[in-house]
Amino acid sequence: MRRYLLYLAAGILLVLCFAALVTPFLAPYSPKQQFREFSHSPPTRVHFLDPESGLPARPFVYSNTDVSNSRGSISSERTGDRVTVRFLVKGVPFRILGVNSGTHLFGLEDPDQPVFLLGSDSLGRDLFSRILYGLRFSLVVGLLSIAVTVLIGTFSGTLAGWRGGWVDSVIMRICDLFLSLPGLFLILGIRAVFPLRMSASNTLWMMVFIFALFGWGVVTRVVRGQVLSLKQRDYVLAARTMGASDWHIVTRHVLPFASNYLMVQCTLFVPLFILGEITMSFLGVGVQEPDVSLGNLLIAARSISAMTQHPWEMAPALLVFVLVFCFNFVGDELKAPGWVRPQWW
């Protein structure tokens, strides 16, 4: 049963990664596009049955009209004006995978009538589109950070374990220095070195640099321990006797045995880095408006009144929970003693 849950969690992660890859195509609007007359609009209901005949029909929505009540101006459904949902519609131009396009997955036949699958925020921006773009940024930060972390940690750990001596001592003392510092204070302290306001691309690389400094020490220590153990094995000594170079022995006989650990470490570090990015953006020292990430999306739902009056603004929190839970579940299952990799792995 747990094996099927593992595959389900891995499938969810693949779907989310694919959605992040093709975000401009899936999102009907730009994350900065505003519909001021539809501020705090609730999620739009998509109908699939004809109300008169009760038979399946082309997806449609009812046009919206502003209605004021005690909770402010919201948008409510007005029956009678049906607007058909169309697929592969023209919209805001974008560039994806090196190709310029302006075709979006879905939209309404009336371009002046927006569709908000997950509602809108205070400025009338589509929350569904903003969540997709926020997921894209947070996933890129997490995946790039773990790639750099594993690269640095594997190199330094292998060098320390294989060479030994003063090289091992210097690398391990630097590693101990970073591991002795509290993680959150280390991240915020390094962040203080950079300017407060930065572009989205500069913020991304800044976070990758910070998280790599935070995580390389953990990878280094474990890889070093495995290298120290493996370099005394009989097959490694036999390869040395036959004249194999250090590079050949390390890449063909030592590092492949560390791949299981590195795979598990990736699944455990990625959610940690994603939560770090979300925390920094939520505190106002990460991604800032008008750029979007899952962290600054949660700022709108930081108060009880906002959660009760506009509960759809909690959707980013639900996505964060699913994302982190799936990564942690996959990591826990991969490091379980009974885990055996499939033949295609």
Please name the amino acid found at residue 58.
R
Higher pLDDT, 74 or 42: 42
- Can you tell me the mean pLDDT for 232-253? 78
- CATH 1.10.3720.10 residue spans of the chain: 132-334
Output DSSP code: residue 251: I
Position 21 pLDDT exceeds 80: yes
- Can you tell me the mean pLDDT for 162-169? 84
- Model pLDDT, residue 322: 92
Higher pLDDT, 79 or 7: 7
Give the strands of the sheet with 47-49, arranged side by side: 47-49, 56-69, 72-96, 99-108
Beta carbons of 150 and 219 less than 8 angstroms apart: yes
Please name the amino acid found at residue 116.
F
Q: How confident is the model at residue 241 (pLDDT cuts 50, 70, 90)?
A: confident
Position 286 pLDDT exceeds 60: yes
| Residues 254-285: tens digit of each pLDDT | 777 777 778 877 888 888 888 888 888 888 78
Q: Which long-range contacts (CB under 8 A, 24 or more apart) does 231-240 make?
A: 231/161, 231/162
Cα 200 from Cα 34, distance rounded (Å): 20
Q: Which superfamily does 132-334 belong to?
A: MetI-like (1.10.3720.10)
Between 205-209, 216-220, 244-248, 327-331, the lowest mean confidence (pLDDT) is in 244-248
| Residues 105-147: tens digit of each pLDDT | 888 877 777 888 888 888 888 899 999 999 999 999 989 999 9
Beta carbons of 28 and 90 less than 8 angstroms apart: no
Please report which helix (H) or strand (E) contains residue 173, including its range: helix 165-180
pTM: 0.84
Position 70 pLDDT exceeds 80: no
